[in-house]
A = this chain, B = another copy of it.
């Protein structure tokens, strides 16, 4: 069962079966290939090839008198070849300049990171017709600013500006603080902690910083507690999901029992994390059983990392059936990640 046993004709046949199955979602017959694809041989010969491909695990036959369906292994081979440039993407799978332009225009209006991510998921869902996800930037972000803003006597707003994202939290004050006092605490802490990855802001580091702030120990502790939560396991990563109901348009998910696990996985942050991460460098494709989440077998995930100022920050991607126009999906996801990188590097 070595993948290398595929000669030129078998490749031709396999690609044709994939293309045909992607388009029609029904087992592909030898006749259909014969007179829709110029393979130059008769249906009988194609049958021989299909038979061999079935034995090799690239095709699957639902029952004796049915056509063939590509297996995960077939898609994997196809995608590998595609990404290595050894297979030309079908004409209509390329992104036209007009499409690129439309995507760019939709994205560039957003001057708020979360809006941009939401728009990215939305655009991807609209263009692929699959559920789409964009994660907020995560990973070891470095702190840039801390600001405490007075809200009331017993609480203040802590604004944390980090690379790629900023967030705000409420901190409680055990005793009132003036605006001036808060400003001073912010300044001292910012100076001490700037440039540190949020996850590395430990007690020790901060205590040192707090030395310059006698009498405000509890406030410093409160700020620290928030920072730790912010930069901890959860790391503030959130997901924008769009077009979830699109999955129900796909013929393979007409059965609720097949669709529900997928929707359930898209519902929960923990599984979403597993599905999309770890963030790949370029585009990453997970086909069928390659997915870590049970019940997502039958799905493929195409995801790409976007970058903020050069560093991988978060992920955008789509979840669709394994029967998917990979060339086009990959091109779209890749381009969206690029555009998003660009947009976000201007933002925050």
List the interface of chain A (C-beta within 8 A of B): 111-113, 144-145, 147, 149-151, 155, 157, 159, 161, 166, 168-172, 242-245, 248-249, 253-256, 259-260, 263-264, 266-267, 346-348
Do B157 and A151 touch (CB < 8 A)?
A: no
Query: Which residues from B are CB-within-8-Å of A267?
Result: 242-245
Residue of B at shortest CB range from A260?
B248
Question: Quick one: which of B155, B159, B255, B260 contacts A149, CB cutoff 8 A?
Answer: B159
Do A147 and B170 touch (CB < 8 A)?
A: no
Residue of B at shortest CB range from A225?
B111
Docked Cα-Cα span, A113 to B167, in Å, equals 12
New A-B pairs, 7, CB < 8 Å, besides A145-B149, A248-B260: A144-B151, A168-B168, A245-B264, A245-B266, A248-B259, A255-B256, A263-B263
Do A244 and B263 touch (CB < 8 A)?
A: yes
19 contacts between A and B (CB under 8 A): A111-B171, A112-B168, A145-B149, A145-B151, A145-B157, A149-B161, A151-B348, A166-B168, A168-B168, A170-B348, A243-B267, A244-B263, A244-B266, A245-B260, A245-B264, A245-B266, A248-B259, A248-B263, A253-B256
Docked Cα-Cα span, A24 to B254, in Å, equals 25
Question: Quick one: which of B159, B244, B249, B260 contacts A159, CB cutoff 8 A?
Answer: B159
Docked Cα-Cα span, A150 to B348, in Å, equals 10
CB distance from A111 to the nearest CB of B (A): 5
Do B168 and A159 touch (CB < 8 A)?
A: yes
Residue of B at shortest CB range from A247?
B263
CB distance from A306 to the nearest CB of B (A): 17
Q: A157-B161, A245-B260 are in contact. Are A149 and B147 (CB under 8 A)?
A: yes
